Amino acid sequence: MHREVIEIDLVPVLYYVEGEGEPVIAFHLPTSPHHCFARNVSELAKSFKVYVVDLRPPVVLKTWRMRNMRLIDYLEEVVLKFMDALGIKKTRLIGAHKAGALAMYMAARHPDRISKLVLYSTLGLTRAPSSAPAFRFIFFFMKWPGVAFMGRVKMIRQFVKWADLRGVGQWRVGQFFGPGEPHDHATLTRHLELIYTTFLSPPDIWAYEVMIFTINYLKYDVVDPFIPQITQKTLLVFGDDEYAIPQAHQQEYRRLIKQSEVLTIKNTRLYPHYECAEEVNAHTIRFLTGD
Partner 1 sequence: MIEQASPAAQTALTRKAFEIDTIPVIYTEMGTGDPIVLLHLPVNPMHVYKKTVPELAKHYRVITLDIRPIVASWYYEGYGTLLRFVTDYLVKALDRLGLTRVPVIASFMGCGVAMTLAIRNPDRVSRLVMISPLGLTTRPKTSAFGLIFGLMNLPGMRSLFHLFMSNMAFQRAVLKFDQRVFGPYRVNEFFYQAPAEGIAHHLSQLYDGLGDPPNPFAFETFINVIQHLRYREIRHLIPTIEQRTLLLFGEEDILIPAKTARRYKATLPNSELHFVPKARVFLHWEAADQVNGLIREFLQRRDK
Q: Is 38 in the site for partner 1 (CB under 8 A)?
A: no
Question: CB 217 → partner 1: shortest distance, Å?
Answer: 11
Distance CA 52, CA 226 (A): 24
Residues β-bridged to residue 233: 116
Q: Is 153 in the site for partner 1 (CB under 8 A)?
A: yes
Query: With contact defined as beta carbons under 8 Å apart, do 33 and 52 qualify?
Result: yes
Distance CA 48, CA 235 (A): 17
Taking the CA of residue 81 as centre, how many other CA atoms within 13 Å lie in the half-sphere pointing to its CB?
A: 16
Q: Which stretch binds partner 1 (CB under 8 A): 65-73, 232-240, 248-256, 262-270?
A: 65-73
Is the CB of 64 or the CB of 238 nearer to partner 1? 64
Please tell me what DSSP assigns to residue 224.
G
Q: Which stretch binds partner 1 (CB under 8 A): 3-11, 88-96, 238-246, 254-262?
A: 3-11
* Number of residues engaging partner 1 in binding (CB under 8 A): 34
Please tell me what DSSP assigns to residue 199.
G
The only residue of 42, 47, 63, 131 in contact with partner 1, by rule CB under 8 A: 63
Query: With contact defined as beta carbons under 8 Å apart, do 134 and 175 qualify?
Result: yes
Distance CA 88, CA 99 (A): 19
Distance CA 181, CA 36 (A): 14
Binding mask 192-231 for partner 1 (x = CB under 8 A): -----xx---xxxxx-x-----------------------
Is the CB of 142 or the CB of 148 nearer to partner 1? 148
**Region 100-129 residues binding partner 1, contact defined as CB under 8 A:** none
Positions in the binding site for partner 1 (CB under 8 A): 3, 5-12, 14, 57, 61-63, 65-68, 81, 85, 148-149, 152-154, 157, 197-198, 202-206, 208
